Amino acid sequence: MARRRHDYAAAMALREDSFRRLRFLAESGRLAVAFGRHDKAHAIFEALRSISPQSPVGHDGLSELAFLDGDFESSIALAKACLTLEQATPCSSAMALTRIACATATNGERRDVIESLDRAIKMDPAGPAGEHARLWKRVIRDMWTRTCSTQPESSEVSTQ
């Protein structure tokens, strides 16, 4: 009986240590992004994705990097992958939907963008991802308002 208890304690300690290492890698990747070290961040997030393929952390980090580098198609694909992972949480799913909306806002249907942001807000209404989605919704609507007031819509352009 004492042996089982010891094995369980050792297994839990190992699991906790593994979790701490993964969290350290994730934070290191976020810091690398913040300091503009996209090459380092990319390597870290790829490592996270291979170490823990069902965790959204690596996919989300790579999605963010693709977005920042202007590769919106890759960003959307990686964010959509986050939504299908076993370890996805409401917060990670809401962040993925927000990134999809932001990447789609560059050239997509406005209705799809707002629907994605609304879904993100509903998934994490009181959390950081929901707040992030609300902020982006305001920014994107403001951007569209400014764009529409300074340039005519393509259907309104005169063909004379």
3-class secondary-structure state, position 40: helix
Question: What does the buried/exposed string (b/e) look like for 117-146 if buried means 16 or more CB atoms within 10 Å of the residue's CB?
Answer: bebbbebbeeeebbebbbebbeebeeeeee
Quick check: pTM over 0.85?
no
Give the per-residue pLDDT at 17: 65
Token output for 28: 């290191």
Token output for 160: 């004379």
What CA–CA distance (Å, rounded) separates 143 from 85? 32
CB atoms within 10 A of CB 157: 9
Cα 120 to its chain centre, rounded Å, is: 11
The domains located in the chain, with CATH, are 2-150 (1.25.40.10)
Q: Got the DSSP string for 82-117?
A: HHT-TT--HHHHHHHHHHHHHHHHTTS-HHHHHHHH
What CA–CA distance (Å, rounded) separates 72 from 121? 21
Residue 35: what residue type? Answer: F
Can you give the pLDDT of all 160 residues of the chain as single tens digits?
A: 455 555 766 666 666 667 788 889 999 999 999 999 999 999 999 999 998 899 899 999 999 999 999 999 999 999 999 999 988 889 899 999 999 999 998 777 888 899 999 999 999 999 999 999 999 999 998 888 887 765 444 443 333 3
pLDDT tens for residues 41-79? 999 999 999 988 998 999 999 999 999 999 999 999 999
